[in-house]
Amino acid sequence: MLIVHGTAHRLHDPSSAMARAGHPPNFDLPDRVDVVLDALHASGAHQLRPAGDVGLAPIARVHRSDYLNFLQTAWERWPNDRNVELVLPQFWPVLGSPAGGMPARCPDSVVAQLGWFAGDAIAPLMAGTWSAAYESAQVALSAQRAMADGARSALALCRPPGHHAGTERLAGYCYLNNAAIAAQAFIDSGMRRVAVLDVDYHHGNGTQEIFYERDDVLVCSVHADPAEDYPYFVGHADETGAGPGEGFNLNCPLPAGSDWPAWRAAMEMCCRRIDAFAPQALVVSLGVDTHRDDPSGTFKLDSSHYVLMGRRLAELGLPTLFVLEGGYALEVLGVNVANALAGFEEGAA
Ligand SMILES: [Zn+2]
């Protein structure tokens, strides 16, 4: 399989600074990319390619320009001295909350703008965050281009991940929604219907928001019940889309501690919905934080289950772009991703 990857992601490395500042652990380490590349090298069956750069225009098809301007300039505009390693939001407009509802507008202060554009306080900004996020989107776009040119499948080895990033929202380690940007690029290449299947442990609230009112991009997700796990506020089964998008969003939340049979049954519901939708391409938000050893999740999947997942996805018979999302157990992350691809290639053969 074609594997697209980058190097600028290393410029975004918030883990140790977060720990020094006493924040909860940030599991999105640069080593995540290395362990996946090592496992794919070991399997020997893949072609590696560095990401190209097709510019900002396809990113701006998904994210608002004021948000992109903010992400690009925030670090330079930040008022603190340059000894600060990272910044986190401190002020929020509480739009849409039970305490909110008053008129609010985006302020000029960059300190307040971070709260305006942040969904939570676990997506820190650093000097290299924009470069890393931009490259991560280009990794997805390069893989998408290769498929538009005829590749049957590809893995975009994206870091930072993307599925929590909304139209104008950074959250949950995510800044630009790589999977959504790739799905939109498929539509812009002339496809009429594209499906996104999110198998990450956490609900892809950003992807859901981006496509919620659209009937040309079906979004399906298997994830931990937001009543008890991140992203908490969105991802329930009764969120089915709105307006023309009604019926084109399928959420399959599962209780904490769910095992493979429960997970497989939920994925089966998604696969049947995707079959009925008859898309021209599938984007898989490939999070493997569903593994039993993952520090960010509670599900009980074993490494062998990712082979079965890949095989089932191949049965859909679609051009398939895998986009890396979560997966934070470094000792099994590589093998889990490699197993998903191996199962897919077996099933597609
Ligand atoms: Zn996740």
The list of the chain residues with pLDDT below 50 reads none
Strands (E), 272-333: 281-286, 320-324
DSSP letter for each residue of 179-202: HHHHHHHHHHTT-S-EEEEE-SSS
CB proximity list for 87: less than 8 A, separation 6 or greater: 74, 75, 78, 80, 114, 124, 125
Q: Are strands 194-198 and 281-286 parallel, antiparallel or unpaired?
A: parallel
Cα 101 to ligand 1 centroid, rounded to whole Å: 30
206 Cα: distance to centroid of ligand 1 (angstroms): 12
Closest CA to 58 of 130, 118, 133, 137: 137
Considering only CA atoms, which of 280, 282, 302 is closest in space to residue 291?
302
Q: Which of 251, 277, 274, 270 is nearest to 192 (CA)?
A: 277
348: DSSP letter: H
Q: How far is the CA of 230 from the centre of ligand 1 (A)?
A: 9
For residue 181, which of 90, 59, 314, 2 has the smallest C-alpha distance?
59
Is the bond into 160 cis (omega within 30 degrees of 0)? yes
pLDDT tens digits for range 16-26: 888 888 888 99
Q: Which residues pair with 223 in a beta bridge?
A: 253
Catalytic residue among 9, 12, 164, 202: 164
Domain 2-348: CATH superfamily, name plus number: Histone deacetylase domain (3.40.800.20)
pLDDT the model gives residue 211:
98
Q: In a 3-state reduction of DSSP, which class is residue 257?
A: coil
CA of 289 to the centre of ligand 1 (A): 6
Centre of ligand 1 to C-alpha 82, Å, is 31
Rounded distance between C-alpha atoms, residue 22 and residue 130, angstroms: 24
Question: How many angstroms does the Cα of residue 327 sit away from the middle of ligand 1?
Answer: 7
CA dist 126 and 272 (Å) reads 42
Active site residue 164: yes
- Token readout for 20 is 């020094």
261-273 residue pLDDT tens: 999 999 999 999 9
Q: How far is the CA of 50 from the centre of ligand 1 (A)?
A: 25
Instruction: Find the 277 Cα to ligand 1 centroid distance in Å.
Output: 26
Which residues lie closer than 8 Å to 270 by C-beta, 6 or more apart? Answer: 197, 220, 221, 222, 250, 252
Residue extents of the structural domains in the chain: 2-348
User: Ligand 1 centroid vs 280 CA: distance in angstroms?
Assistant: 26
* CA 301 to centroid of ligand 1, rounded, Å: 14
| CB-count exposure of residue 197 (10 Å: 0-12, 13-18, 19+) | buried
Nearest to 214 by CA among 180, 189, 249: 249
Taking the C-alpha atoms of residue 176 and residue 126, their distance in angstroms, rounded to an integer, is: 15
What is the Å distance from ligand 1's center to 109 Cα? 31
The amino acid occupying position 119 is G
Amino acid at 19: A
Ligand 1 centroid vs 201 CA: distance in angstroms?
Answer: 5
Asked whether the beta carbons of 296 and 27 are under 8 A apart, the reply is yes
In which region does residue 170 sit, left (phi positive, over 0), alpha (psi from -120 to 50) or beta (all else)? beta
Ligand 1 ion: nearby residues, β-carbon < 5 Å:
200-202, 287, 289, 326
Based on C-alpha coordinates, what's the Rg of the chain?
Answer: 19
Amino acid symbol at 345: E
- DSSP string of 96-137? TSTT--S-----S-HHHHHHHHBSSSSS-B-TTHHHHHHHHH
Stretch (H or E) spanning 291: none
